[in-house]
Amino acid sequence: MRKIIYSICFLFAVSFLIAGSCGKGGGSPAPNPCSGITVSVSGSTTNPSAPGATNGSISVTASGGSGFTYSLNGGASQASGNFTGLGAGSFTITAKNSNGCSGTASFTLTAPNPCAGVTITVTGSTGNPTTGGGNNGSINVTATGGTGPFTYSRDGVNFQSAGLFTNLTAGPYTITAKDANGCTGSTNFNLTDPCTGVTINVTAVTTNPTSAGATNGSINASASGGTGPFQYRLGTGTFQAGGTFSSLGAGTYSVTARDANGCTGTANFTLSDPNPCAGVVINHNSTVTGHIPCSAAGTGSIVANPTGGTGPYTYSLNGGGFQPSGIFNNLTAGNYNLVVRDVNTCNTAASINIPNRPQGPLFTAVKALIQANCVTCHSASNANGGMNFEVDCNIVNNRDRIQIRAVNANPSSMPPTGLLPPSERQKIVDWINAGGKYTD
């Protein structure tokens, strides 16, 4: 009943804080009995003695009034400040005095760490994979220390009750054991591949095909290193017991040898067709015709008539395309590079000189008479009528004019002083009748 009154007075006190007081039955609000009162709660704790145990306790006393009652986490009030039977956790204790003024304090009870001082040791044995790259390795462990039963894990996440791990490839593993209290210990293991550090060498005796395109070559391979017996395969074929592969044409072949542990080694071998040009000698046997000097176009030629090798032949002059004809015409004087190729692409190259053909006797005679009778008025420095007869080809290329002037005297004779004797003029006629070339 008092409590209710105080509560009402408290409301009044708040509502009419400035207005006045709250007296006992005086019609005005009673003063707040908790005003200026601080209820303090203090105490001591006893932690649970083991993880999960509920033998912890909290013992409190309060100050700031009298007639205290105590409640744990807002539970039922009790006269005693002792709370027992507590597990680990956080607790709030409220103390309330006889005037209803209250105070609180928080306490934390902590269970002992079950793993403190506990060392879990993982020991075991390993079985390496028995083949190169194989996955039949195993690790078999047991754990000691801590509190059984243990569970075991390869990844620290998924635990199993057995300590045996199978179907393992080579590599490092960390095995963790966990005891009944969740305490863990781990050990590293390493599984090694039986081929690590093993080198398989493959050698072979090869036999080349006996002719171009033939498939009678063979490879006779043998292996060393590793652990026999070996098996062999060609390329990506299937493994066979022997290292002999036959019926092979020219080409490069890879041979892989595999030992009893599945360790492999590979080597490449090349079979070559015999060189179709070995021992083949091709002679071009060219007939060369020289160039006629003073001709407007080339008049030389090369006519190849090869022997040796296997026809038909093709021909290339000065790096041009190969052509079926071995005849090259219209060539000026100089050096030419002729390549003759047979059906097996066996080549022979030759440097061929096309000479200028020699001066002919009729021209020689005409040239001599012109030197004697004409050059005084027909030289480089005195080229009357535009004629310089010191240059041989000027004689050749103006032969018609020479005949007209020096033989026919049309319209006037050359030399201007009178025609040459008939025998000299006949030399000009004979040369022109023969063709009038440098070589005539």
- Interface positions with ligand HEC (CB under 6 A): 370, 373-374, 376-378, 384-385, 387, 398, 401-402, 405-406, 412, 414-416, 420
Nearer to ligand HEC, 45 or 397 (CB): 397
What is d(CA 52, CA 56) in angstroms, rounded to the nearest whole number? 10
- From its phi and psi, is residue 34 left (phi > 0), alpha (psi between -120 and 50) or beta? alpha
Asked if 185 and 119 count as a contact pair (C-beta separation under 8 A), the reply is: yes
Nearer to ligand HEC, 27 or 416 (CB): 416
Nearer to ligand HEC, 72 or 365 (CB): 365
Nearer to ligand HEC, 133 or 385 (CB): 385
Nearer to ligand HEC, 67 or 416 (CB): 416
Nearer to ligand HEC, 178 or 399 (CB): 399
Minimum CB distance to ligand HEC, residue 356 (Å): 24
Q: Of 71, 66, 72, which is closest to residue 89 (Cα–Cα)?
A: 72
What is d(CA 188, CA 124) in angstroms, rounded to the nearest whole number? 10
Reported in sequence order, the residue ranges of 88-136 that DSSP labels E, i.e. its strands, are: 89-96, 102-109, 121-127
Nearer to ligand HEC, 2 or 401 (CB): 401
Asked if 173 and 191 count as a contact pair (C-beta separation under 8 A), the reply is: yes
Q: Of 102, 106, 100, which is closest to residue 58 (Cα–Cα)?
A: 106
* 233 three-state secondary structure: strand
Minimum CB distance to ligand HEC, residue 293 (Å): 20
* Cβ neighbours around 120 below 10 Å, total: 21
Minimum CB distance to ligand HEC, residue 438 (Å): 17
Reported in sequence order, the residue ranges of 128-163 that DSSP labels E, i.e. its strands, are: 137-144, 151-153
Nearer to ligand HEC, 223 or 414 (CB): 414
Q: Of 188, 252, 256, 195, which is closest to residue 222 (Cα–Cα)?
A: 256
Q: Of 185, 186, 187, which is closest to residue 115 (Cα–Cα)?
A: 185
Minimum CB distance to ligand HEC, residue 439 (Å): 20
Nearer to ligand HEC, 288 or 429 (CB): 429
Phi, psi of 207 (to 5 degrees): -125, 120
Minimum CB distance to ligand HEC, residue 302 (Å): 37
* Cβ neighbours around 152 below 10 Å, total: 24
Both structure tokens of 410: 């049309």
Minimum CB distance to ligand HEC, residue 403 (Å): 9
Minimum CB distance to ligand HEC, residue 368 (Å): 12
* Look-up of token digits 């781990």: 186
Minimum CB distance to ligand HEC, residue 366 (Å): 9
Phi, psi of 345 (to 5 degrees): 65, 25
Minimum CB distance to ligand HEC, residue 405 (Å): 4
* Cβ neighbours around 218 below 10 Å, total: 17
Nearer to ligand HEC, 168 or 414 (CB): 414
Minimum CB distance to ligand HEC, residue 384 (Å): 4
Asked if 150 and 89 count as a contact pair (C-beta separation under 8 A), the reply is: no
